[in-house]
A and B are shown apart, each in its own frame.
Chain A
Amino acid sequence: MPDDASAAERRARFEALAPELVEPLRRFLVRRTDQATTDDVLAETLLVCWRRLDDVPADAALPWAYGVARNCLANAQRGARRQERLAVKVAVVDPPADHVPGPDDGDVDGRLEEALSRLTETEAELVRLWAWEQLTPAEIATVLDITPNAVSIRLHRAREKLRGLLRKNDAASGHEETREGRAP
């Protein structure tokens, strides 16, 4: 059991680190799940950061924390799916895949939702981490625990695939949906 001095030091380190993590983590989670799950997983992610403070890399704390949040979210979603299977009286938290875009979303026409759903989960995550969290390949590598080289190659392919899907989608929707007047 650490003494008071080391406990205070640990607290100080966490207090210096955590406020920088909270907002990006919140946004990370809001992009991937509903509000209630965001709050739960955020709390759990911070708890892991607190407990594993000594493992947090000084030069890549945020990507590391994103990786933790990603795992915590996956756990929560596994729990949610198990809950559905249990078929007991319970309010089920929808996994984000079932998320229906609403008017508040940037994805007003659902084109992004549709396109991302046609990527593999890893491809979609690479695209999100690149476009929304705006991480470098090296940082994405930390989140996903793969090599930066692999990130570069897979991200390149994922973007190509996404572009292709959006083109195809635009062509297909041209005669059956109201165009939003937005240049792709």
Chain B
Amino acid sequence: MTDDELQQWLQARDPASSLPPADPTWVARLLEDTMSADLETHHTETRESGTRNRSPLTWLVAAAAVLVAGLGVFSLVTDDPEYPNVPAAGDSPSVSSPPTVTELAAAPPTSAKCMVPNAEILSQAGIAFSGTVQEVADDVVVLAPDRFYTGEPTALVEVRSDPAMLQALIGAVEFKEGQRYLVSATDGRVTVCGFSGPYAEDLAALYTAAFPG
């Protein structure tokens, strides 16, 4: 078998040979989504003016600097809280009315020492809720909140992250399916160091003290 013959033999078995071309609309949307990610500087908007076409959820998500980026770009995205890496919910007509979701990022592993949890620090959290873990997967923990102490209430809260980071967070908070937790997040990142954890009376009291009313 010559090189040419070998190449022809291989090409006859090319798994992509029967692949139809991508739908141009899909490609256009893919490219638009790509360009709207992260480097959307020409669309720089203040949080106030940028909300006109967006749902309250998106606003919340934006304010929380959430990421649903690919695994490898986690740190790039989280470095800049100005760029929510999510398509605006109002942009996708195909999504009718999914359950509202607050998306949070796992806090990066830290070797810093923790301060004693107190209500004053906790009160600075943008999101605080109690809820039960519905699912623990590789890159996401899904919680069903039963009470929002602060932040826009949603039906679900997803904590997303690079799997390695999520494991680190799981290590810190020990999310287990079916258990109830108190979770707070600052700038879209779940707080650890005792500020988030399994539901307990003393922690709940701290939450109540931090968010009276």
Contact = CB atoms under 8 A, between A and B. Distances in A.
Interface hub of B14, B33, B69 (most chain A Cβ within 10 A): B14
Q: How large is the interface on A (under 10, 10 to 19, 20 to 34, 35 or more residues)?
A: 35 or more
Given A11-B42, A79-B138, A27 B19 contact: yes
B13 interface: yes
Given A30-B15, A107-B13, A79 B71 contact: yes
Contacts of A121: none
Interface in B53-96: 69-73, 76
B70 A47 contact: yes
A118 to B, nearest CB: 15
Contacts, number: 133
A124 to B, nearest CB: 11
A163 B6 contact: yes
Contacts of A15: 31, 35
A31 B41 contact: no
Interface string B1-33: 101001101111111111101100001001101
B15 A46 contact: no
B44 interface: yes
A14 B73 CA distance: 19
A135 to B, nearest CB: 12
Interface in A27-43: 27-28, 30-31, 40, 42-43
B38 interface: yes
B44 A127 contact: no
User: Do most interface residues of chain A lie in helix, strand or loop, or is the interface mixed?
Assistant: helix
A172 to B, nearest CB: 17
A72 B70 contact: yes
Q: How large is the interface on B (under 10, 10 to 19, 20 to 34, 35 or more residues)?
A: 35 or more
A88 interface: yes
B87 to A, nearest CB: 11
B137 interface: yes
A162 B76 CA distance: 41
Contact of B31 (A19, A44, A79, A86): A19
Contacts of A89: 135-137, 177
Closest 9 CB pairs of A and B: A7-B42, A44-B70, A131-B10, A106-B13, A27-B16, A83-B138, A107-B13, A46-B34, A90-B137
Interface of A: 1-2, 4, 7-8, 10-11, 14-15, 18-19, 22-23, 26-28, 30-31, 40, 42-44, 46-51, 71-72, 75-76, 79, 82-83, 86, 88-90, 104-108, 112, 127, 130-132, 159, 162-163, 166, 184
Interface of B: 1, 3, 6-7, 9-19, 21-22, 27, 30-31, 33-35, 37-39, 41-42, 44, 69-73, 76, 135-139, 163-164, 167, 177
6 contacts: A11-B42, A14-B35, A48-B73, A79-B138, A83-B138, A106-B12
